[in-house]
Structure 1
Amino acid sequence: MLENIQFANPGFFWLLLLLPLAAIWYYFKRKEETASLKISSIKGFSSDDFLTRLKPLLFLLRLLALAAIITALARPQTEDISSKTKTTKGIDIVMAIDVSSSMLARDLKPNRLAALKDVASNFIRKRPNDRIGLVVYAGEAYTQTPITSDKAIVLNALKSITYGKLNDGTAIGMGLATAVNRLKDSKAKSKVIILLTDGVNNSGFIEPQTAAELATEYGIKTYTIGLGSNGNALSPIAYNADGSFRYGMRPVEIDEGLLKNIAEITGGEYFRATDNDKLEAIYDEINKLEKTDIEEFKYYRYEEKFRSWALLAGALLLFEWLMRNTVFRSFI
C-alpha cells in the first residue's frame, strides 16, 4: 500500500508518539471503565469470559483509526516525473579534412585517413545536439555535406570520403575558407571549425592567413590538428604499373607554425597527433572544450492517496461503534 509513496506533510507522524501513551493510559484505567459490584460470592453468576477478554479490541480499533487519520494528515501521494530537454546554445561545427595522398601514410593504423574517419565518427556520435558539416580538401576544396543535425547523413558522408576525388596537394587556405563559407551565415551561438592536415600549404589561391582572418571576422573559432608521427613515415612515393601506390619512407612535414597561428588568430587551439591514441584524445578534448548548454524541464504530477486512509479510519470507528453498541453493550 505504501509502495512508491512519499508524504507531503511527514511532520504529522510525530503524532504517532501519542499512541503508546494512550495504550499505557488505557492499561491503568481499563478497570474503571466497567461498573463493579462488590459481593461476598460470585457463585450463581454466569460470566462470558471470552467476550470480556475481547473488550480491549474496542480501544485497539480506536488506536488504529487514529493512526490512519495521522497517516491521512501526512498526505501520502505518488509522484510522476516527466522531463524534456531543450538545447539553449547550439553549436555548428564544420570538420575540414585533408584528403591528399600523404593521408594514406601508415604511421597511424591502418593509415592516417582511415584512423581519422574512425575517430571523427565517434566524435560526431558524441554531439547529438549540434549541427555538423564536412569539408574535404587536397589541391582544392569542396563541401562533402553542409551543416545538418541529421547525424546519419554526416556519418555516411564521412564514411564515403576517399583519396582520389581531388587533385593532389594541400590547399589549407582553400579548405579553411570553404569551411568558413559554410558557417558564415549560421545563427548558432557558437561556430567551430576543426581543421586537420598532415602537410604544408602548397596549393590553392587563398592564403591560410587570409582564411583565418575571415574566420575571425565571422566569429568562427578554429581548432587545428597536425597529423603525423615525428621523423619519417611510410608514405606513398610513386605509382606501380598497376596504378597502385608504391610506399617508402618519407619525412613528415607539417607546418606547425601556420597551424598554431590559425588557432591563435581565431581563438582556438593547436594539437599534434602522432598516433591513433593521441588523435582520439584530441577529439575527446575538443568535445570537452565545446560544450552545448542543455536546459532540462521537469514536470511533476502528484496523485493524492490520503482518501483511502481517511476512509479506513472512518470504517474502523464505525465498526468500533457498532461493536460497542451491540456485542459489547452489556459490558459497558
Structure 2
Amino acid sequence: MQALVDMLPAWLPTFAWPWLWLALPLPLLMWLWPLREEAGPALRVPYDPARLHLQEAGRRGKGLLCALLLWLGWFCLVAAAARPQQLGAPIEPPRQARQMMLAVDLSGSMGEPDMQLGARVVERLTAAKAVLADFLDRREGDRIGLVVFGQQAYALTPLTADRATVREQLRDSVVGLAGNETAIGDAIALSVKRLREQPEGQRVLILLTDGMNTAGVLEPLKAAELAKAEGVRVYTVAFGGSGGMSLFGVQLPGGEDTVDEQTLGKIASETGGRFFRARDTDELAGIYAELDRLEPIKSAGPAVRPRIERYVWPLGMAMLFGFIGLAWRGGRR
C-alpha cells in the first residue's frame, strides 16, 4: 500500500483519515429524519396570488443559493477533517553512523621532529594532526569523540556529529598538555566509558601512540579486557620513526624504537580490532585509509517522501462558504 502511495504524483493529494468522508451525507440524513416535528397551523391572511407567486420564486432562488453555499462549506469541512496531505520531494535518510573515539598520545615523545610532511620535517604530533584531519573529513555521518592522553587521559570532546569541533580541538592540542608520560590503559578505559551507552556493533576506538605504557592506574591489557566486555573494537596505531635523535631536522642514527608493539597488538586482537605500525606520514595515511575500509559508513536506506499537511486550505474555504451562506440567510430574514 505504501509503495502505491509513493508512486502517486506529488501534486495529487491523499487523505490520512479517508473514512471521515462517510460524514458527508450527514446533513441530508438529518433533513430526511422521519421524526421531525410537523409545522404548526399557519395564520390565514388574504393574499394576492400573482404577487405571492413572485415572492415565493425569489425566496426559492435565494434559498437554493444559500443551501448551495452551506453544502459547499460542509464539503470543505469534511475534506479538512479527512486531513489532505501532499507528498513532498524524496529525502534520503541519514547514513548509519559509527560511534568512534579517537585517542591521541600527547606525551613528550610526540614532539620528536622525525616526520616528513611535504617538503618539511615536522614533529610527530603535527604529522598525526594532518593525517587525522583528512580522516575526519571522510567520516561524514559518524559521531566522533576525542580523548588525549599523556600522564593522564582527558576527554576533549564528547561523541558528536560536529566534526569541525573535533578538528578544532585536535588542532589546539599540544605536546605535554596531559603530561609527558604515557597512560595507554587509562586512555582506553576513558574511551570505553564514553562508548558503553552507544548501540552495540558501532563502538570503535582508534588509539594512536608512539610509546609504551609508563603511567596511569589501569594496565593496558586490563583495559583491553574491559573494552572486550563492553563490545568496543580497538584499533591500535604505533606511530613514530626509528627512535633516534634528530639535529636541525636531520635524523641521526642510533637509539631504539620504544613503541610497545607486542602490547598494542594484543589489545587489538583481544577486542576484535587490528594493530598497525607507521614509521612515516605516508604509512600513517595508508593506515587510516585502511580503517575507512574496515569500518565503513553504511549506505543510506531507501529515500522517503515527507507528507505535507494541506488541511488549512479546505478549512479556510469551509469557513468562507459558511460565513457567506449564514450572512445571506440572515439578510433574507
Range of TM-score over shorter length? 0.5 to 0.7
User: Does 1:126 pair with 2:138?
Assistant: yes
Deviations 1:71-104 (CA, angstroms, capped at 9, x unpaired): xxxxxxxxxx955332453211100010001001
Q: Tell me the equivalent position of 1:159.
A: 171
Q: Normalization by structure 2: what TM-score?
A: 0.59
Indicate if the aligned counterparts of 1:106 and 1:235 stay in contact, CA closer than 8 A. Answer: no
Q: In the superposition, relative to structure 1, how do residues 162 and 231 fare at CA in structure 2: closer, same or farther (>3 Å)?
A: closer
Distance 1:249 1:158 in 2: 31
Is 1:104 matched up with 2:111?
A: yes
Q: In percent, how many aligned pairs have the same letter?
A: 37
CA gap 1:97/1:299 in 2 versus in 1, 3 angstroms: closer
Superposition deviation, residue 257 in structure 1: 0.3
Deviation at 1:139, TM superposition (A): 0.8
Structure 2 residue runs of 5 or longer lacking an equivalent are: 1-87, 117-121, 306-333
Tell me the equivalent position of 1:290.
295
Q: CA deviation at 1:248?
A: 10
Q: Which has the higher strand share?
A: 1
Give me the whole-angstrom Cα distance separating, in 1, the residues matched to 2:239 and 2:138. 22
Q: CA contact under 8 A between 1:101 and 1:163: conserved in structure 2?
A: yes
- Is residue 268 of structure 1 aligned with residue 280 of structure 2? no
Q: What is the distance in 2 between the residues matched to 1:183 and 1:252?
A: 32
CA distance in 2, matches of 1:141, 1:298: 42
Correspondence for 2:185: 173
CA pair 269-233 structure 1, distance change in 2 beyond 3 A: farther
- Pair 1:137-2:149 in alignment: yes
| Partner SS for 1:142 | strand
CA contact (8 A) 1:235 1:250 kept: no
The alpha-carbon distance between structure 1 residues 123 and 114, as it changes in their structure 2 partners (threshold 3 A), is same
Q: CA separation in 2, counterparts of 1:180 and 1:156?
A: 23
Letter in structure 1 aligned against 2:267: I
Q: How far did 1:249 drift?
A: 6.3
Alignment partner of 2:273: what SS? coil
Displacement of 1:270 in angstroms is: 0.3
Q: Computing the radius of gyration over CA atoms, which structure comes out larger, 1 or 2?
A: 1
How far apart, in 2, do the equivalents of 1:193 and 1:273 lie? 18
Question: What is the aligned partner in structure 2 of residue 256 from structure 1?
Answer: 261
TM-superposition CA deviations, 1:56-82 (whole Å, max 9, x none) = xxxxxxxxxxxxxxxxxxxxxxxxx95
Q: Pick from 85, 98, 104 the counterpart of residue 91 of structure 1.
A: 98
Question: What residue is the counterpart of 2:76 in the other structure?
Answer: none
Assess, with a 3 A threshold, how the Cα gap between structure 1 residues 82 and 290 changes in structure 2: closer, same or farther.
farther
How far does residue 187 in structure 1 lie from its aligned partner after superposition? 2.6
Q: How much is the aligned-residue C-alpha RMSD, in angstroms? A: 2.3
2:58 counterpart residue number: none
Counterparts of 1:242-253 in structure 2, within 5 Å, are: 250-253=255-258
Does the 8 A contact of 2:200 with 2:231 survive in 1? no
Counterpart Cα distance in 1 of 2:89 and 2:280: 44
TM-score by length of structure 1 reads 0.59
Partner residue of 1:207?
A: 219
Note closer, same or farther for the CA distance 1:83–1:275 as it changes in structure 2 (3 Å cut): farther
Q: Secondary structure at the match of 1:178?
A: helix
Q: For structure 1, list consecutive stretches of 5 or more residues without a partner in the other structure.
A: 1-80, 237-246, 301-332
- Would you say 1:185 and 2:190 are equivalent positions? no
Q: How far, CA to CA, are the matches of 1:231 and 1:168 in structure 2?
A: 16
Do the aligned partners of 1:90 and 1:188 also contact (CA within 8 Å) in 2? no
Q: Cα 1:278–1:83, aligned 2, differ >3 Å: closer, same or farther?
A: farther
Contact 1:99–1:137 (CA<8 Å) still a contact in 2?
A: yes
Other-structure match for 1:225: 237
- Give the aligned length: 210
In structure 1, the residue matched to 2:282 is 277
Q: Say if 2:145 and 2:160, in contact at 8 Å, map to a contact too.
A: yes
Specify the code of the residue in structure 2 equivalent to 1:277: D
Tell me, in whole angstroms, the C-alpha distance in 1 between the residues paired with 2:161 and 2:146: 12
Can you list the C-alpha shifts for 1:165-205, whole angstroms capped at 9, x where unaligned?
Answer: 22210111011111111111113641100011101111111
What SS does structure 2 have at the residue aligned with 1:291? coil
